[in-house]
Amino acid sequence: MNSKSTFDKPVGVIGAGSFGSAIANILAKNTKVLLYARNPKIAKIISKGRKLHDQELHENITPSNDLKYVAENCEVLFPIVPSENFPALIDDLADFLKPYHILIHGTKGLIVINKNWEADENIKIERDDVYTMSRLIRERTLAVRIGCLAGPNLAKELADNHPAATVVASHFNEVISEGQRLLRNDRFQVYGSKDLLGIELTGVLKNIIAIAAGALSGMGYGENARALLISRGLIEMIYLGHMLGANTQAFLGLAGIGDLVATCSSKLSRNFTVGERLGKGEKLTDIVATMEETAEGINTIKIIVRLMKEYPLRAPITESLDKVINGDMTIEQALRFLMKSPFSIDFDFF
């Protein structure tokens, strides 16, 4: 039998996308949940039909369009919105947050604050300009107890109640233990980690490799090519993680290899889908225009490539995808380039 939360208050999930709804359903097995939807029409749909993104919502879930109400009635909050919307959300939420709040976010992206870097190629990006979601929460709110969710958590499979697992990472033991207690059930295992930065970055960087894996699939290549990409991609993720201040260990666990394998192998992954459609010859602008939810890997590629200009590091998969996205290279040319990359050593990060 699932244990009940010691909090009398419900748990808040901020963001009614497919992943947010799936996490709300998992939480609802153990506690009452307030599910915040920015669009009032979505909140009404949930109230009337108890269904969202083809998911039947648990009876313990109550929809809300009032961010203040959710924050004031919940001590534990799960913000799960696209990274491009995260700063505005946190700014709106900041007035209602107190030091007693626990925030465990589920957003796998990066953002650059206060620089018009996309419009001007001459603007430099340094490591301190690149924000994870936990850093943004810490710097813009009174919240102290902050964590993240990361792992092989494809929303559709979670919604269908398939066996799965995740990692709750935080510098605070109470955040990890409360996240585990609220989320864990007989179909969903929850591991803990004190390496918040490393676990966050694994979830962010694997999106790049998932786009490349999708491109291989779209071009009709098989499992040997995918295995080559995943193994080389993991090494590239580790080097990029080092550049961003992470260590190696986080990339070798469930949130690293586990999430990488899942998103590089499934059409349920938005980033894999972007790559697959690129591999079939579609233009990125058309792909993005027809996707219902954000593929975080596209923006991550742009940020990482710009950041790499300030570091003596090469990341051929990321760099090649950036050229494909910008129209400077075709997928076929990128593949030929990667196959000719002169790497004679498998890995050297231990």
Q: Which pLDDT belongs to residue 63?
A: 93
Domain boundaries, the chain: 11-194, 203-340
At 3, give phi and psi (nearest 5°). Answer: -75, 150
Say yes or no to pLDDT of 153 above 70: yes
- The residue ranges of DSSP E strands in the chain, in sequence order, are 11-14, 33-36, 51-52, 55-56, 61-64, 76-79, 102-105, 111-112, 130-131, 145-150, 164-170, 188-193
Domain spanning 203-340, CATH class: mainly alpha
48 tagged catalytic = no
Neighbours of 228 (CB within 10 A): 14
| Share of residues in the chain with pLDDT > 90 (%) | 79
To which H or E segment does residue 106 belong?
none
Which residue of the set 29, 32, 206, 302 is catalytic?
A: 206
pLDDT in tens, 226-242: 999 999 999 999 999 99
Reported as a pLDDT band with limits 50, 70 and 90, residue 1 is very low
| Share of residues in the chain with pLDDT > 70 (%) | 95
Q: Which pLDDT belongs to residue 116?
A: 86
Q: Which pLDDT belongs to residue 348?
A: 55
Q: Which pLDDT belongs to residue 86?
A: 97
Reported pTM: 0.92
Angstrom distance (rounded) from CA 138 to CA 94: 10
Mean pLDDT of 85-89: 96
Q: Name the CATH superfamily housing domain 11-194.
A: NAD(P)-binding Rossmann-like Domain (3.40.50.720)
